[in-house]
Amino acid sequence: MFLTRILLHDFKNIADAEVEFSPKVNYIYGSNGAGKTNLLDAIYYLSMTKSYFSASDQYVYAYGSDESVLCGFYQMDNGTVEKISASVHRGGEKTFRRGAKTYPRFSEHIGLLPIVMVSPLDTALINDSGEERRKYLNFILSQIDREYLRHIQSYNQLLLQRNRLLKEDRDSGLLLETLSERMAPHAEYVHNARRDLCEQLRPMVQEFYLNLSQGREKVDLTYHSDLDATSLTELFAREAEKERFLRYTTAGIQRDDVQFRLEGHPIRRCGSQGQQKSFLLAMKLAQFRFVKHIYGQTPILLLDDVFDKLDMQRVEDLLSLVSTLDFGQIFLTDSNKVRLDKVASSMNAPCRSYLVDSGKITSE
C-alpha cells in the first residue's frame, strides 16, 4: 500500500497543492517554517482522521479560511485504488469519505492505511509526565483493538463520576462501591493489554537500539501499574481513607507509566540528546514492525527532521535498519538539502525530492 497522489486546499499554510509521490522514498526539503511538516501531517491526517500535533481541528485551517480539504489516492496491495477524502469546517463539521461513501464513525477508517510518524515532538514521551506515555500506549492499542478503546473510554467516564462523588464529601460509600465494581473489569482489560503490548515492544526496542548504537549501550522498557500486584477493588479498599481526605481517586490505571532506562538508569536524566533520539527511533521502528505484523501490510513511514541531533554514523545505522525492515513508502524531511542528497545516494530505492517554500510544493 502506498500514497500515489495528494491534493490539499487550505491545510495549514498550504493553500493549494497537488503532489505525486514515489512508491518508495520521498525527500522533502526547505527552510524551517516552510511547510514540510505540514505536508507530512496532511498524509498522517488521511490515515488517522486527525492531526499528529493536536487533538483539535482548530489549527488545521489556513489563516482566514473556513474549510480545509484533503484528498489522497492509494495503491492498495490487492491492486485496487482507494480514494480517501476529508473536509474540515471551522464550525466543527468534519467528514471523511472512502470513495463516495461517508464514514458514519471515524474509528471505522482506522487501520485501513497504517502509518507510523517520527517527529521532534516525540521527546515528550521521555521528558514529560506519564500521561504522554499512556497516550502512546492508548494510541497503538486503539488502532488494533476496538474493544480496548471501548474499555478505556468506559473506565474514564466512570472515573469522572467517582471523583465527582469524592468531591461532594458526603456519605456515598455504596455508590462508590458500585462504581468500583463497574470499573474493575475495564481496568483489568486495559492493564492486561498495556502489559502485553510493552512485553512485545520491549525486545524489539532493545534490538533496534543496539543496532543504532552499534552495541555501545543497552536500554530497557518496563511497564508499571497499580494493578501489577492486586485488583482494582482491593486497591480502592486500601486507599479509601486517603481518598476521603484528598477527595479524588488515588489509584488505578490512570497512574500507569512506562519506564525508559539506559544502562539501568532513567534515560531522561542520564541520556544525551543523541541517545534519547536513538531510543525514540528504536521505539518507533518497533511500533512499525508491530503494526506491520498486526495488519499484514507495511505502514507508511514518516520521518520528520529525523537526522537532527544524530551523528552521521547513527544516520547510516538508521538507514540500514529501515532497509532491513523491508520498508514500503517513506517520507523524510530535512532543512539541509546536502544531507538529504547524501541520504538519497545511500539508499538503493526509487526516490523523488520536493522543495517546500512558503507552503508551495515543487517536485524536482
The answer to the question of residue 123 being in a domain is no
Q: Please tell me what DSSP assigns to residue 57.
A: G
Say what the pLDDT of residue 325 is: 64
Choose between 295 and 228: higher pLDDT: 228
Q: Are residue 176 and residue 246 in the same domain, yes or no?
A: yes
Q: Give the mean pLDDT of 208-224.
A: 89
- As a whole number of Å, the CA-based R_g of the chain is 22
The answer to the question of residue 120 being in a domain is no
- Cell numbers 544531507 correspond to 339
- Containing 219, the helix (H) or strand (E) segment is strand 219-224
3-state helix, strand, coil in the chain (%, to 5): 50, 25, 30
Q: What is the CATH number of the domain that holds 20?
A: 3.40.50.300
Closest CA to 282 of 294, 290, 292: 290
Q: How many domains does the chain divide into?
A: 2
The answer to the question of residue 187 being in a domain is yes
Q: Are residue 183 and residue 203 in the same domain, yes or no?
A: yes
Q: What is the CATH number of the domain that holds 289?
A: 1.20.1050.90
Q: Are residue 359 and residue 224 in the same domain, yes or no?
A: no
Tally of CB atoms within 10 A around 220: 15
Range of the domain at 309: 1-114+298-364
Q: Are residue 54 and residue 159 in the same domain, yes or no?
A: no
Residue at a domain's end among 241, 271, 296 = 296
Q: Are residue 155 and residue 98 in the same domain, yes or no?
A: no
Q: Are residue 139 and residue 103 in the same domain, yes or no?
A: no
Q: Are residue 61 and residue 92 in the same domain, yes or no?
A: yes
The answer to the question of residue 4 being in a domain is yes
- Residues 75-106: pLDDT tens digits? 998 889 999 999 998 877 899 999 999 999 88
Q: Are residue 30 and residue 89 in the same domain, yes or no?
A: yes
pLDDT-wise least confident of 139-148, 214-223, 264-273, 319-328: 319-328
Q: Are residue 175 and residue 259 in the same domain, yes or no?
A: yes
What would the grid cell of residue 20 be? 505525486
| 11 pLDDT more than 90 | yes
Say what the pLDDT of residue 218 is: 92
Q: Please tell me what DSSP assigns to residue 61.
A: B
Residue at a domain's end among 272, 296, 320 = 296
Three-class secondary structure of residue 303 per DSSP: strand
Record the pTM.
Answer: 0.88
DSSP sequence for 290-301: HHHHHHSSPPEE
The answer to the question of residue 121 being in a domain is no
Say what the pLDDT of residue 72 is: 96
From CA 313, how far away is CA 297, in angstroms rounded?
30
Q: What are phi and psi of 217, to 5 degrees?
A: -140, 160
